[in-house]
Structures are given as C-alpha cells and as structure tokens.
C-alpha cells in the first residue's frame, strides 16, 4: 500500500477533500491531509484564491514542504488545484518520491526543474474548465505527459474546476468516480 500526502485546493480543507482522503484510506493507503490554511475554509474559489494571494504562494509552498518533514521517503504526492503547487514541487525535488497525482491543475515542468524519470504521474482535468484550460494548465499537462516516461493525462468532459470535491456545487459524480478509480489503480500499481 502507498503512503500519500494530499494537499487541498484554494477553498481549503473541505469535507470533500477529507472524503476523498477517506476513500484512499478505505482502500488501505495511509493518507496525510495537512491544512495549509490553518483552519480557514472559503465558500467560493475566488475567496480562497484571494486568501492564498494574501498569505503568499511562497508561504503555501513552505507549508507544504513542512508537512512532508518527518514523513518517510517514498511518498505519493497529490494535490487538488492550488495543492498541486506543493505536491508537484515535492514530487520534482524531494528525494524518493514514489509518484504524483495532480488534480485540476498542472504547473509547467520547468518551474521546479526537470521531472524525475523514476516518478510516475497522473494528471486529471476537465476539457472545458475555465481555470484548467483558460489559465494554461492544460498545455503544461500535455507537455508533462509527453516528456515524463511514466505519465498519464486524463481529460473529462465538463467545465467544473473542482469537480472531484463532493462538498462543492461543481461536483461531477460520474467524473469524480472515474477519477477515484483511476487514482486507486495508479496507487495499486505502485504497490
């Protein structure tokens, strides 16, 4: 079974993110879900992004790195949207990463150096998501999927940004179920 470090999205550590972590735990995976917002949860994506900007993205990255301290080598790093920042950074820079799961977002590979060839990655996004498509994440995802030796990129039909968070209005049950199944298959392959 895998040990997963899962980072929440810009709205905070919502019940939907906690529920997703519970799904991974039920499948036997040890799952850590740090609160990068120190208890704050926001009702809209815009409010959450404003908070992240106020706190500073550098601080978010530092909090993500601090969450990994003391955890064993061999983590699978995972993130929802904003949480992709610390997850992807750790996957690319922390020795011994076992894999990466990037949900709703993807940072250009060069932002944190080259992708480590031994680290498999899955990227999930919606094909009409105004954030994923409109802000360039889809291009970063395609480039990473083309360059990383063990990469999978899944596009789902729809326009919801945080479609896998069951506590939010944009939740898409069918797409979220498929994302969860693919995630569990990925984790099972890692052993």
pLDDT digits (tens, 9 = 90+) for 131-149: 999 999 999 999 999 999 9
Q: Which residue range(s) make up the domain with 60?
A: 3-190
Closest CA relative to residue 100, chosen from 111, 86, 110, 113: 86
Number of structural domains in the chain: 1
> How far are the Cα atoms of 41, 76, 101 from residue 173, in angstroms, in the given order?
22, 24, 19
- Residue 112 burial by Cβ neighbours in a 10 Å radius (0-12, 13-18, 19+): middle
**DSSP single-letter state for residue 136:** S
In angstroms, how far is the first alpha carbon of the chain from the final one?
6
Identify whether the C-beta of residue 158 lies closer than 8 Å to the C-beta of residue 131. no
Does position 109 have pLDDT exceeding 90, yes or no? no
pLDDT recorded at residue 58: 96
Of 104, 7, 15, residue with least CA distance to 57: 7
Instruction: Flag whether the pTM goes above 0.95.
Output: yes
**CATH number for the domain harbouring residue 118:** 3.40.50.1820
Q: What is the pLDDT of residue 191?
A: 78
Neighbours of 136 (CB within 10 A): 13
Residues 83-103, mean pLDDT to the nearest whole number: 97
């Amino acid at each position: 079974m895998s040990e997963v470090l899962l980072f929440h999205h810009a709205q905070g550590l919502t019940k939907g993110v906690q529920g997703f972590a519970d799904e991974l735990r039920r499948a036997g995976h040890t799952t850590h879900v740090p609160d990068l917002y120190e208890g704050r949860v926001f009702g809209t994506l815009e409010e959450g992004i404003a908070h992240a900007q106020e706190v500073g993205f550098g601080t978010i990255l530092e909090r993500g790195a601090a969450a990994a301290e003391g955890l064993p080598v061999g983590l699978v790093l995972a993130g929802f949207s904003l949480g992709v920042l610390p997850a992807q950074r750790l996957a690319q820079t922390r020795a011994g990463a076992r894999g990466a799961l990037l949900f709703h977002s993807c940072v250009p590979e060069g932002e944190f150096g080259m992708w480590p060839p031994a680290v498999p990655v899955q990227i999930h996004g919606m094909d009409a998501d105004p954030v994923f498509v409109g802000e360039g994440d889809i291009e970063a995802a395609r480039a990473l999927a083309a360059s990383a030796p063990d990469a999978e990129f899944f596009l789902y039909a729809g326009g919801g940004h945080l479609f896998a968070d069951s506590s939010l209005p944009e939740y898409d049950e069918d797409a979220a179920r498929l994302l969860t199944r693919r995630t569990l298959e990925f984790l099972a392959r890692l052993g």
